[in-house]
């Protein structure tokens, strides 16, 4: 209990730091852009390239963020001292196309031109980007831009704020939450393992104390050992779940890929199966790791099929339909006509090792929800005791900004 409370307090403290850092980063960039834009408007009639570079440089050096002034052809006009330090280059040459050097190679063809185009067409831009220093090391930056008239076009002022520390806190927070979850799981593991170990130990001692064959003791030992093996296999699968590599998958392809697996489960448990896809599915593909989704669906459908132990006429329906939730493109609904879940048990169904079925590990729904969460999707359960259960798996669309995916 102390460990859980400590972890919870640590997570809360880190969230407060994270929120403060986020607000400070956004406020700093916005304020700097507004201030620099005002300065540039005041001196827009001056010849920065020849007459007053020192004046503007002194102003920019007073700002604790990297500042780059780019002309209408995206060549460097001026850079403050903070930018030279942040980018790891003592001299930034005037007239150099520096942005092509500090953006990641994969972002130079689409993201960089899009940012400059938005800046000149809409007057400003703000967003997170990955940048690289001149020594090839990388950092995450909050980049803000603003455009103002310059000669025959528009110049752009760019502010760069290193938010690597902020992202480090985010990662630490995720790790802390994961450790808190694993700490809670540890209590459940010790409880689940204790009973089989006590049974194995007890029957082994009895067997050793007698010279007669005791088939029932050997059967009990074998059964409990198998239970332990299944428990450890489930735990290993959960802990070693590989990172997902999402790709664009057409919605109808999801159904055709899952269909053989679903029929295999239905055949194993001798249950009825109905698979359908809505005719009005959106054209937007899902952005998922198909292998990971298949594991999650297998876990959910197997959990439903196990109801056949209590229902000889169990029917499972799998339906892919459109979804109105933000950032989701479709919902995979898995319904059964089993006995359903008692209302008082619903809050516990995703807990590791929670099960009402004798001889089961209770890790299926836990695994499925973790997969959906890591995919930035959602998993919900609606159940009516005595009538059945429906599991809704909301599939995510590509959340990457359009500015990174296609030229504007």
Per residue in 291-310, pLDDT (tens digit) is: 999 999 999 999 999 888 78
Query: Which of 63, 53, 55 lies closest to 31, judged by CA?
Result: 63
| Topology classification of domain 2-162 | Beta-Lactamase (3.30.450)
Which of the residues in the chain have pLDDT under 50? 1-10, 14-15, 17-18, 20-28, 42-43, 46, 48-49, 51
Q: Torsions phi, psi of 247, nearest 5?
A: -140, 165
Q: Are 343 and 371 in contact (CB under 8 A)?
A: no
Q: Write down the pLDDT at residue 166.
A: 82
**Half-sphere exposure of 385 toward its Cβ, with a 13 Å CA cutoff?**
6
What is the structure's pLDDT at 79?
87
Please say whether the beta carbons of 71 and 97 come within 8 A.
Answer: no
Beta-bridge mates of residue 395: 330
> Is 186:211 a contact under the CB 8 Å cutoff?
no
| Helical residues (DSSP H) of 270-394, grouped into ranges | 290-305, 364-374
Sequence spans of domains, the chain: 2-162, 180-239, 241-408
| pLDDT at 175 (0 to 100) | 62
In degrees, to the nearest 5, what angle opens at C-alpha 53 toward C-alphas 51 and 55? 100
Interhelix angle 53-61/2-42, rounded to 10 degrees, is 160
- Strands 76-79 and 315-322 turn out to be unpaired
Count how many Cα atoms sit within 13 Å of the Cα of residue 118 in the half-sphere of its side chain: 18
pLDDT digits 0-9 by tens, 250-261 = 999 999 999 999
Distance separating alpha carbons of residues 250 and 247, to the nearest angstrom: 10
pLDDT at 92: 86
Q: Model pTM?
A: 0.58
Whose tokens are 């007698």? That residue is: 210
Which phi-psi region, left, alpha or beta, contains residue 33 (left: φ > 0; alpha: ψ -120 to 50)?
alpha
Same fold, 2-162 and 180-239: no
Kindly give the residue spans of alpha helices, DSSP state H, lying in 43-163: 53-61, 81-87, 99-102, 111-122
Query: Could you tell me if 98 and 76 are in contact, meaning their C-beta atoms sit under 8 angstroms apart?
Result: yes
**Residue recorded with tokens 């005041």:** 42
Residue that the structure tokens 């239905």 belong to: 266
**Which of 260, 372, 277 is CA-nearest to residue 325?**
372
Other Cβ atoms less than 10 A from the Cβ of 252: the count is 12
Domain boundaries 180-239, corresponding CATH code: 1.10.287
- CATH number among 3.30.565.10, 3.40.50.150, 3.30.365.10, 3.40.50.300, domain 241-408: 3.30.565.10
Best CA proximity match to 370, nearest among 274, 244, 277: 244
Q: Are 299 and 372 in contact (CB under 8 A)?
A: no
């Amino acid at each position: 209990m102390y460990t859980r409370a400590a972890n919870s307090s640590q997570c809360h403290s880190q969230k407060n730091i994270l929120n403060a850092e986020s607000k400070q980063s956004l406020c700093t960039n916005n304020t700097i852009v507004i201030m620099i834009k005002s300065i540039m408007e005041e001196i827009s009639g001056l010849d920065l390239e020849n007459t007053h570079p020192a004046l503007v440089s002194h102003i920019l050096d007073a700002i604790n963020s990297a500042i780059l002034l780019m002309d209408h052809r995206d060549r460097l006009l001026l850079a403050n001292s903070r930018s030279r330090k942040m980018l790891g280059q003592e001299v930034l040459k005037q007239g150099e196309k520096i942005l092509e050097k500090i953006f990641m190679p994969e972002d130079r063809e689409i993201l960089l031109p899009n940012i400059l185009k938005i800046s000149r067409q809409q007057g400003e831009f703000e967003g997170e980007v990955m940048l690289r220093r001149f020594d090839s090391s990388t950092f995450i930056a909050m980049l803000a831009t603003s455009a103002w008239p310059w000669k025959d076009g528009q110049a752009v002022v760019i502010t760069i704020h290193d938010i690597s520390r902020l992202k480090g806190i985010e990662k630490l927070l995720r790790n802390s939450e994961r450790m808190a979850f694993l700490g809670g799981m540890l209590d459940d593991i010790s409880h689940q393992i204790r009973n089989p170990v006590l049974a194995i130990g007890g029957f082994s001692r009895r067997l050793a104390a007698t010279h007669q064959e005791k088939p029932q003791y050997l059967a009990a030992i074998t059964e409990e050992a198998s239970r332990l093996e299944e428990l450890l296999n489930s735990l290993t699968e959960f802990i070693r779940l590989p990172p997902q590599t999402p790709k664009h998958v057409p919605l109808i392809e999801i159904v055709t890929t899952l269909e053989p697996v679903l029929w295999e489960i239905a055949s194993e448990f001798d249950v009825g199966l109905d698979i359908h896809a809505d005719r009005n599915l959106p054209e937007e593909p899902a952005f998922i790791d198909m292998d990971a989704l298949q594991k999650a669906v297998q876990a959910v459908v197997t959990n439903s099929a196990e109801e056949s132990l209590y229902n000889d006429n169990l029917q499972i329906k799998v339906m892919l339909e459109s979804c109105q939730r933000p950032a989701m493109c479709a919902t995979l609904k898995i319904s059964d006509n089993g006995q359903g879940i008692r209302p008082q048990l619903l809050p516990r169904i995703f807990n590791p090792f929670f099960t009402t079925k004798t001889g089961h590990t209770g890790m299926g729904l836990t695994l499925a929800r973790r997969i959906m969460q890591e995919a930035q999707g959602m998993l919900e359960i609606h159940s009516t005791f005595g009538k059945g259960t429906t599991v809704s798996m909301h599939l995510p669309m590509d959340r990457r900004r359009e500015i990174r995916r296609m030229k504007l």
